[in-house]
Amino acid sequence: MIRTVLFDLDGTLADTARDLTQALNALRAEEGRPALPYEQIRPVVSHGSPGMLKLGFGVTAQDADYARLRERLLKIYATNLCRYTTLFPGMNELLATLKRRGQNWGIVTNKPAFLTDPLVAQLPLPYPPACVISGDTTNNRKPHPEPMLLACSRAGSQPDECLYVGDAQRDIEAGQRAGMRTLVALFGYIEDNERPETWGADALVNRPDEILDWLSRND
C-alpha cells in the first residue's frame, strides 16, 4: 500500500513556468536580447537553469559565461518567486484527499533550497508537506536515488510504500532507482520531442485527479 506520495515541484506540484519565463526574459533584456515567447520557454522549465540558459543563450555549464548568467538568472527569479505561480488545477483537492485517506506527501526537487523553501512557503497548500528535499539537500541530485531515499526516511515510509510523480525522465529514473512506484505528470513541462511513454513509469496521468484514480486501483 502507498503511504507517501512524493512530487517534483516545477511542472508537477506547481505551475512555475510564467515566473521562470519572466526571469529568463528579464535576463535576456539585460543582455540586449529580445523576449522569447512563453510557449517556447514552458517545455524546458523542468530542466532548470541549465535548460533555460541553453534555450535563452545557447550556453552550457562548460561555457565561460554560464556561471555568471546562472547566478543572475537565479537572483532575478528569487525576487519574483510566486507572482504568477499556482498549484496545478486539482492539486489542492488531491492533497486534501490524501490527508483524509491517511497518506502523507512530500516534495523532491532539483531546485536549490534558497528558492524551494520560500516558494513552498508562499504556495496555498492545504497543509504542510511531510518533507521537502531540494537539489542541495543531499550530495547527489535526481536522477540519483539519494534524495528520494532521504524523502522516504523523513516521511516515515519505506521506498516500496512511496509513489513519486514527476514530469521529467530523471524523475522516473530516480524513483525507480530508489524502489518506488512512479507516475509521469503529462500536464507538466514536457518537450514535443520527448517520449514519456518510453520512460518506464507505472502510468501516465493527464490531471492530478488521475493520481487518486491510480492510488485507488493500486491500494
Q: Pick the catalytic residue from 8, 19, 167, 171.
A: 8
Paired residues of 185 in beta bridges: 205
Classify residue 208 as exposed, middle or buried by CB count within 10 Å of its CB (0-12, 13-18, 19+).
buried
**What is the DSSP secondary structure assignment for residue 151, as one 8-state letter?**
H
* Per annotation, catalytic residue among 10, 15, 19, 171: 10
DSSP E strands in the chain: the ranges are: 4-7, 14-15, 86-87, 104-108, 131-133, 162-166, 181-185, 203-205
Is 10 a residue of the active site? yes
Amino acid in position 146: E
Cα dihedral sign for 169, 18, 117, 212?
negative
* Gap between the Cα atoms of 135 and 140, Å rounded: 8
Catalytic residue flag (residue 160): no
- Residues annotated catalytic, as ranges: 8, 10
